[in-house]
Structure 1
Amino acid sequence: MRGPARASYRPVTQRLEVTFLPGLGEIVADEIVERLAPARPPRPVPGREDALLVDHAGRLERALSLRTAVAVFLVLTFDVPRPKSLTSGEHLPRIADAMATSVRLGAARTFRFEAAGHDSSVFQRLAAELAHATGLVHDDAEGEVVVRFRRTPRNAPQPGATRAPTDQAGWDVLVRLGGRPLSARPWRVADFPGAVNATIAAAIVRLVGTQADDRVANLMCGSGTLLIERLLAGPAATAVGVDIDPDAVRATQENLVAAGCAGRATVTRADVTAAGGSWRDAGPFDLVLADPPWGALHGSHVTNPALHADLLRVAHEVGAPGAHLVVLTHEIKVMERCIREADAHWRVRAELRVFAKGHHPRIYVLEHV
């Protein structure tokens, strides 16, 4: 005799907002599709150039595995005219549950609001009620569970439009998942002035791809961000980091240990532009990564033209035929002039501009000729 039929499990679809550095949108969308397999492609948040909406039916932990994203927020939409209405017993539990989910995913038991007028009496009351409902402490400055509020956009303005969208109704509450932005890598135990943003490094790795037999060199490696993100993305036959600064070498070594990659790479103190050097013995290299100094914290605008030219020369000397060179630089005019002068050695395969904290660096992917 058959027993009772089991109800089929249907995962709950939740709306996520994935934020990223402007310029990396296509790369982030590709990673979302690859890792989360949403039922429909990620779509831009109306009026934003740094966020994508994703309908996610899997475990939320998986969303936190995104390496090119800055942060992931759980989006709750409420058909209410103003934030004051969110204090009702009908809506408050949904917000409290999302905050508890963030704590489950690693956030400390503190929260803060990000909203215009977050210090108003309405938001202070909402904070008190959420603190009571969740047991979390409201810390307006350092709270780890970040809760954002915004009007729910229905229609974004079209390109060239002069008026803001008027078809808006309700409010969105966005709760950041986990206690830190995804861009704040846990392996970064040794910081270094001017270190590459880790999400840019992860995007670079996705641009060039990974092969298990890659021989990788990270020239002017700083604290090792490019090298570590490459190793975390997949195995490599050889991996070398090189920097002239002993503090940079030490920082890279410490970060490699924290990332669990200490045995997979060697780090050498050397001037990469000088002739010779034992680090070259590990080549020829299939992938050369570089983030040359640009004169704000390291290096000099005066010497950067020669430095970029030397970088292209040395990378060609140590690169295998068909190798890729990826350069992240703020010296756009200098780099483009150097590329033109080295067109017999390098062919441009991709170029991508990124916007990060007031800076506009550019990623160049070159192929060894």
Structure 2
Amino acid sequence: MVEATFLPGLGRFLADEIQGLLPQVRPRPVPGRDDALRFPYAGPLSRLRSLRTAVAVFTVLGFGVARPGSLLHADHLRRIATAVEEAADRDRPARSLRIEAAGRDSIAFRRLGAELARVTGLAFDPAGGDLVLRFHRSPTAEAGWDVLVRASTRPLSARPWRVADYPGAVNATIAAAMARLVPARSGDRVLNLMCGSGTLLIERLLAGPARIAVGVDVADAALAACRANLDAAGVRADLLRADVAAPDLLARRRFEVILADPPWGTRCGDHGSNEAVYDAMLRTAGRLVTPAGRFAVLTHEVKLMERLLVRHERRWHAGSVHRVFQKGHHPRIYLLEPVNDRTRGDRP
């Protein structure tokens, strides 16, 4: 059994991705949780590390024991050690392990950590171990404990291509979900407005090739970070230093896919100036999108976005809206369609 975790709100994206990778599998929500799916799987765990909307993937071991201390039995320790060996990431080998559990500082869990270090050969580092083992009561059995062994030394959401960070960078699993909302077609022309360090642009290009890809930002530091990350990801895009409000931005060019993660007024931008920025973004994207194109926007400025969509109702129609939960924030993904004869007929 495998458990894949996700940011709450992205469950259907992950379920679709899992079924695309493993058509015979039907992932199911974990009872009492809003951030995990489980499904049977007996293949190589390296295949599951390709899941782009998953935060992490774990091997699930069920034990019919009443308390964690019972897991110190030699047979149980060997079973956990075998799972640790099978979960080994050859590209990023683990050097240490840590336990995540309620009461992890208890004597029982400290003994478990020491014994698991002995049988696996990994150091027990309660605070910074790179291989995570989770212990909790089974959500599916009346009695017993589950031990979850993470199949990667880093979360899957920590992309190896992110060599340059930038304030306000979007979570990569959210960006991957946005890429799935605008299915990759090799003939698409892709534009990322206010591209920052390039997460949206990179996730779209990793999902599939594009005819052209362009990233636009007003900050030199953002474009430098974007270039470094593009190079690390092995994808290419043209980068342009420009203001989203410039009336001649990319004049006479058109794009099938436009992406944006405008400032939320927390780490980037401020609430007072965001109205002008968002208004300019919607006007510029409306000028640059093709009649059958799509514009995917991620924002935490929900009230502002809703108000501006009313103002721009002759330009944009919200095809779908998806709410996500991320570290105290509740951003929404808006998939916007240009208003024309085709979309006008779909509106209520």
The normalised TM-score by structure 2 is 0.95
Residue correspondences, number: 338
Q: What does 1:192-207 align with in structure 2 at a 5 Å threshold?
A: 192-207=166-181
**Alpha carbons 2:46, 2:89 under 8 Å: kept:** no
SS in 2 for 1:242: strand
What's the offset of the Cα at 1:308? 1.2
How far apart, CA to CA, are the structure 1 residues paired with 2:316 and 2:256?
14
Q: What does 1:255-266 align with in structure 2 at a 5 Å threshold?
A: 255-261=229-235, 264-266=236-238
Q: Which AA in structure 2 matches 1:235?
A: P
**Alpha carbons 1:36, 1:58 under 8 Å: kept:** no
What's the offset of the Cα at 1:280? 4.2
Match of 1:311 among 268, 281, 284: 281
What's the offset of the Cα at 1:102? 2.9
**Alpha carbons 2:189, 2:256 under 8 Å: kept:** yes
How far apart, CA to CA, are the structure 1 residues paired with 2:279 and 2:270?
14
Unmatched runs of 5 consecutive residues or more in structure 1? 1-14, 155-166
**Alpha carbons 1:16, 1:53 under 8 Å: kept:** yes
**Alpha carbons 2:319, 2:337 under 8 Å: kept:** yes
How far apart, CA to CA, are the structure 2 residues paired with 1:214 and 1:362?
24
State whether structure 2 residue 83 is matched by structure 1 residue 98. Answer: yes
Deviates more, 1:336-345 or 1:171-180: 336-345
State whether structure 2 residue 240 is matched by structure 1 residue 268. Answer: yes
CA deviation vs aligned residue, 1:238-263 (integer Å, no higher than 9, x gap)? 100000011100000000000001xx
Match of 2:344 in 1: none
Unmatched runs of 5 consecutive residues or more in structure 2? 340-348
State whether structure 2 residue 115 is matched by structure 1 residue 129. Answer: yes
Q: Which AA in structure 2 matches 1:91?
A: H
Identity %: 57
State whether structure 2 residue 94 is matched by structure 1 residue 108. Answer: yes
State whether structure 2 residue 161 is matched by structure 1 residue 187. Answer: yes
How far apart, CA to CA, are the structure 2 residues paired with 1:316 and 1:239?
18
What's the offset of the Cα at 1:220? 0.3
State whether structure 2 residue 12 is matched by structure 1 residue 26. Answer: yes
| Higher CA-based Rg | 1
Q: Which AA in structure 2 matches 1:79?
A: G
**Alpha carbons 1:151, 1:168 under 8 Å: kept:** no
How far apart, CA to CA, are the structure 2 residues paired with 1:181 and 1:107?
13
Deviates more, 1:210-219 or 1:99-108: 99-108
How far apart, CA to CA, are the structure 2 residues paired with 1:168 and 1:151?
9
Match of 1:325 in 2: 295
Match of 2:321 in 1: 351
How far apart, CA to CA, are the structure 1 residues paired with 2:336 and 2:304?
15
**Alpha carbons 2:45, 2:87 under 8 Å: kept:** no
What's the offset of the Cα at 1:103? 2.8
Q: What does 1:175-254 align with in structure 2 at a 5 Å threshold?
A: 175-254=149-228
The normalised TM-score by structure 1 is 0.89
Q: Which AA in structure 2 matches 1:71?
A: A
**Alpha carbons 1:152, 1:168 under 8 Å: kept:** yes
**Alpha carbons 1:107, 1:144 under 8 Å: kept:** no
Match of 1:7 in 2: none
What's the offset of the Cα at 1:153? 1.8
Match of 1:363 in 2: 333
CA deviation vs aligned residue, 1:44-102 (integer Å, no higher than 9, x gap)? 11100000001113221111110000000100000111111111112111101112223
How far apart, CA to CA, are the structure 1 residues paired with 2:254 and 2:144?
59
Match of 2:50 among 48, 56, 65: 65
